[in-house]
Amino acid sequence: MTEEILRQVLEKKRGERRREETAAKERKAAALSVPEVAEAHREYVYALHESLRYGGDERKRRAEKAYAEYTAALENAGFSERDFEPRTLCPICGDTGMHEGKLCSCVHDDLVRALGVACDLSPEGETLSDLARSALGSQAEKLKAMYARMSTYAEKFPDVNRTVIVCTGKTGTGKTALATALSRTLIRRGHSAKIMSAMTFNSLMLKCHTAPYSEREGIMSDVLGAELLVIDDLGTEPRYNNVTCEYLLLVIEERTAKHLATLITTNLSPENILHSYNERIYSRLFDKRRSLTLAFDGDDLRLK
């Protein structure tokens, strides 16, 4: 997902550069269409050629004089030689998109905006740091520790050991806020993050299950391609035979195999998940080698 969006951003950058190169040629053609400029340009080119071919101070002075007359003609016509060079929008990378072997900031900014649109999550908004500053109440220190841990996780991403994160706890304890802030942080760092409710995820899996095989890859592309997938409020979705558990397991396994991160928020305890789903899902969600469980305690933060 991110690779395709980056490819589109870089292609847009190259397209902008090509258009500017074309525009520069058009500006030069417009200048040379002015008779006085065209004549001065011919005189300058001839004098320069003579100077370079035969040398001598006199020919050099003629070339310099011809150049001065040419630039004066350009100025009188409202042009300068700078108009004939493609204008550089980014002085850091020269509109190549790369600087010192890395993405230039201009491309990164475009990538972040494009990711925000593709992931349907604005890069602007509360970050993990914002949540840490606003944490109040008896659970404030614990929440701050979680936010700090997730900030470190985001800094290391995608080179992380834990690709499954499960946030458990009662309603309103901050699970979705953390998941959203982490997603936004990753988008700002140039990674894709897709958030969907368990209800939406379940409906999408049902759509995939009933769709022709030729359409299934497109339906699953974001779910299986986002660098972070957030399934919010697991346990609130209806149960569909051969869909709900089967596709949830499939997605978790596929994403784990690709070393893509999956974050699940739920009001269910681990024991409830075991009884409500199955042992295979439980095993994938709470595998101590690959998963991280964050327990959110306390009262509903929305009521404070």
How does pLDDT run across 73-93, given as a tens digit for each residue? 999 999 999 999 998 888 888
Q: Is the dihedral of CA 266, 271, 277, 279 positive or negative?
A: positive
Q: Confidence class of residue 200 from pLDDT cuts 50, 70 and 90? A: very high
* pLDDT over 70 percentage in the chain: 97
Q: What is the 3-state secondary structure (H, E, C) of 23-74?
A: HHHHHHHHHHCCHHHHHHHHHHHHHHHHHHHHCCHHHHHHHHHHHHHHHHHH
Strands (E), the chain: 98-99, 102-103, 164-169, 193-197, 228-234, 261-266, 291-296
Q: With contact defined as beta carbons under 8 Å apart, do 190 and 108 qualify?
A: yes
Domains and CATH numbers, the chain: 2-89 (no CATH), 122-303 (3.40.50.300)
Q: What is the pTM of this model?
A: 0.79
- Residue 172 has a CB neighbour count (10 Å cut-off) of 17
How does pLDDT run across 110-168, given as a tens digit for each residue? 999 999 999 999 999 888 888 888 876 667 888 888 999 999 999 999 999 999 999 99
Could you give the CA distance from residue 34 to residue 40 in angstroms, rounded to a whole number? 10
Q: What is the largest CA-CA distance in the chain?
A: 97
- Residue 248 has a CB neighbour count (10 Å cut-off) of 25
